[in-house]
Amino acid sequence: MASKRQRRNAAAQRHQSASTASTPTSQVKGSPRLRQRAYRPPKDTTSPGGWTPTTAQQEYAPGALPRIRSAARDLAQNNPYASRAISVLTAHAVGTGIRASVRGDDEFEQAFEAWAGSTEADREGRLTLYGIQNLAARVMFEAGDALIILREKRTSTGLTLTLQVIDPEQLDPGAAPREPGNKNFQGVEVYPSGQIHGYHVRLRLDDSRSVFIPRRDAVHLVELLYPGQMRGIPRGAQALARANSVDQFMSTALARAKVEACLTAFVTTDHPDDAGGLLGEPGDPDSGFLPPERLEPGLIVPLAPGEDVKVAQPPSSGGMADYVKIGLQSVAVAYGVTYDAISGDLEKVNFSSQKAGRLEFNRGIDSLRAHTIFPAVRRIVDRFREVFEANAARATDATVTLVAPGRESVEPLKDAQTLSLDLQMGVKTWAQAVRERGHDPDDQIRELADIAEKFKAAGMSFRLDLGPVQITAEPEHEDEGDTDADPDDPDTTA
């Protein structure tokens, strides 16, 4: 028979079961479903101190930016892999230059092409507009951002626009704001509303004084990563320590390999008291024998009874190639380039793998061009338009299209077949295909028409097949007369 305590426990269990059945599972305290929905902060119990991330608040200009910039520039100038990454990014993002295709005003087009292709565009008189683009992009990748100052100078022919690239180290973080209420974020003066007012710039690195450049007269080339960002972060900032570690490891491994290559011999004897002394010292004064100090190929050295030679064999270093490869892969990912591009390692690269890597790399370059480089070039073109309109005393209704350099094909035949199919299906226009190759469609048409006329004048046929469109230029022939002329018809007789 059940005891009184057992009966009381059974009644309590029945009451609890009834309460749980009438209560939704989501409201039960300690429900497994609630425990699964709870977000836990990240923990790392394997490293000393654990993982304690800071708050998610982003700084307008990170306080550690000067140190990050110094480390990034040191690697870009002294580390071969970081330097190669910067060169690859610059070559693919800008290359020979972002060109402006101007249509609708021939005078404005000729003036812009003459200015952009000459060194008059550079305040220092050394670079063209396309060289300035290349320099500014390289500084941005290496140091995080670059500034291009737009200046107008008056000459005998009117106003001329000149550009000056400013190193980010020349921005003055300690300058006083020009207007009350503004703040200076490492050289960038900002209104209370968040709008940029201008830049405090030292015109020379060795000059402690700074001048104020209004926002209208400056193009700030910076890759924005979060809202409100005022200064740029150098490329590869996430792997600067890793890149430096790989460099140090390779130097250490090279020194170790030199030690391993050294051949060291030790002479041992069973009678230390009878030893002749160090190498190079005579063992027996009466014998006149001098043991050699260096070992040479084919050398035979007689040893005294009881002496033996032992060669030191340092352990060889292993795993060097794997460590360097993994380290360089991290560096390549941080800089946004492919591993083979910075390492030169093409041992296991084939067309498929290289093409897959290039597709992802090209997407990043296209995004960088569209959101960072193209707007900067557009501002320069618009400022040149203002100068041209002031000199010509008239407005211009020209249309400007920016054309980036074309890309080389990894598999030219397959890419050409795909392009031909796209043109035939109408999913891509001929003008789009020409722009992808880095050419201006209007210039291409003019050159093709000029070539067709030259073929025609030389008595040669010229045929251009664009799928549904075919252009044929036949040679001109002299009229030899109509042999079917009716002599009775006065209109067909000479």
| Contact present, 222 and 232 (Cβ < 8 Å) | yes
Q: Does 441 lie in the same domain as 308? A: no
Residue 213 and residue 205: Cα distance in Å, rounded?
16
**Could you tell me the CA-to-CA distances from 113 to 100, 117, 129, 360, 384 in Å, in that order?**
8, 6, 10, 33, 11
Q: Does 273 lie in the same domain as 129? A: no
Task: Give the tens place of pLDDT for each residue, 414-423.
Answer: 778 888 888 8
Question: Which residue has better confidence, 436 or 389?
Answer: 389
**Could you tell me the CA-to-CA distances from 112 to 102, 160, 261 in Å, in that order?**
8, 11, 63
Task: Give the tens place of pLDDT for each residue, 123-139.
Answer: 999 999 999 999 999 99
**Positions of E strands within 11-144:** 99-103
pLDDT of 318 > 70? The answer is no
Task: Give the tens place of pLDDT for each residue, 87-130.
Answer: 999 999 999 999 999 988 999 999 999 999 999 999 999 999 99
What percent of the chain is helix, strand and coil (3-state, nearest 5)? 45, 15, 40
Task: Share the mean pLDDT of the chain.
Answer: 81
Q: Does 253 lie in the same domain as 141? A: no
pLDDT band, residue 244 (cuts 50/70/90): confident
**Within a domain: 457:** yes
Question: Which residue has better confidence, 440 or 317?
Answer: 440
Looking at residue 419, its pLDDT comes to 81
Looking at residue 492, its pLDDT comes to 44
On the CB side of 451, CA atoms within 13 Å amount to 11
pLDDT band, residue 235 (cuts 50/70/90): very high
Q: Does 166 lie in the same domain as 226? A: yes
**Within a domain: 76:** yes
Q: Phi then psi for 328, rounded to 5 degrees?
A: -70, -30
Q: Does 135 lie in the same domain as 102? A: yes
Q: Does 432 lie in the same domain as 312? A: no
Q: Does 260 lie in the same domain as 204? A: no
Q: Does 225 lie in the same domain as 256? A: no
Task: Give the tens place of pLDDT for each residue, 48-77.
Answer: 777 777 766 778 888 889 999 999 999 999
Looking at residue 465, its pLDDT comes to 67
Looking at residue 293, its pLDDT comes to 64
DSSP per residue, 35-52: HHH--------SSTT---
Question: Which residue has better confidence, 259 or 336?
Answer: 336
Task: Give the tens place of pLDDT for each residue, 189-214.
Answer: 999 999 999 999 998 888 888 999 99
Looking at residue 388, its pLDDT comes to 96
pLDDT of 493 > 70? The answer is no
Task: Give the tens place of pLDDT for each residue, 278-311.
Answer: 444 555 555 555 666 666 666 666 666 767 777 7
Nearest to 137, CA basis, from 227, 232, 216, 12: 232
Q: Does 253 lie in the same domain as 181? A: no
Q: Does 286 lie in the same domain as 209? A: no
**Could you tell me the CA-to-CA distances from 159 to 100, 165, 385, 397, 433 in Å, in that order?**
21, 20, 11, 20, 37
**Within a domain: 346:** no
Residue 222 and residue 219: Cα distance in Å, rounded?
9
**Within a domain: 157:** yes
Q: What is the dihedral of CA 51, 57, 60, 62, to 10 degrees?
A: -10
Residue 71 and residue 241: Cα distance in Å, rounded?
9
Which of 194, 213, 235 is the endpoint of a domain? 235
Question: Which residue has better confidence, 201 or 357?
Answer: 201
3-class SS of residue 211: strand
Q: Does 194 lie in the same domain as 73? A: yes
What is the number of domains present in the chain?
3
Q: Does 222 lie in the same domain as 254? A: no
Domain of 434? 411-480
Any idea which of 71-80, 163-172, 475-484 has the lowest mean pLDDT?
Answer: 475-484
pLDDT of 424 > 90? The answer is no
Looking at residue 135, its pLDDT comes to 97
**Within a domain: 8:** no
The DSSP bridge pattern shows strands 196-201 and 188-190 to be: antiparallel
Looking at residue 32, its pLDDT comes to 57
3-class SS of residue 184: strand
HEC per residue, 3-25: CHHHHHHHHHHHHHHHHHHHCCH
Looking at residue 13, its pLDDT comes to 64
3-class SS of residue 222: strand
| Contact present, 179 and 197 (Cβ < 8 Å) | yes
Looking at residue 422, its pLDDT comes to 84
pLDDT band, residue 46 (cuts 50/70/90): confident
pLDDT over 90 percentage in the chain: 40
Residue 143 and residue 309: Cα distance in Å, rounded?
58
Residue 263 and residue 312: Cα distance in Å, rounded?
7
Looking at residue 298, its pLDDT comes to 65
pLDDT of 42 > 90? The answer is no
**Within a domain: 69:** yes
pLDDT band, residue 182 (cuts 50/70/90): very high
**Within a domain: 158:** yes
Any idea which of 6-20, 223-237, 249-263, 388-402 has the lowest mean pLDDT?
Answer: 6-20
The DSSP bridge pattern shows strands 218-222 and 145-155 to be: antiparallel
**Within a domain: 73:** yes
Residue 281 and residue 290: Cα distance in Å, rounded?
6
Q: Phi then psi for 257, rounded to 5 degrees?
A: -65, -35
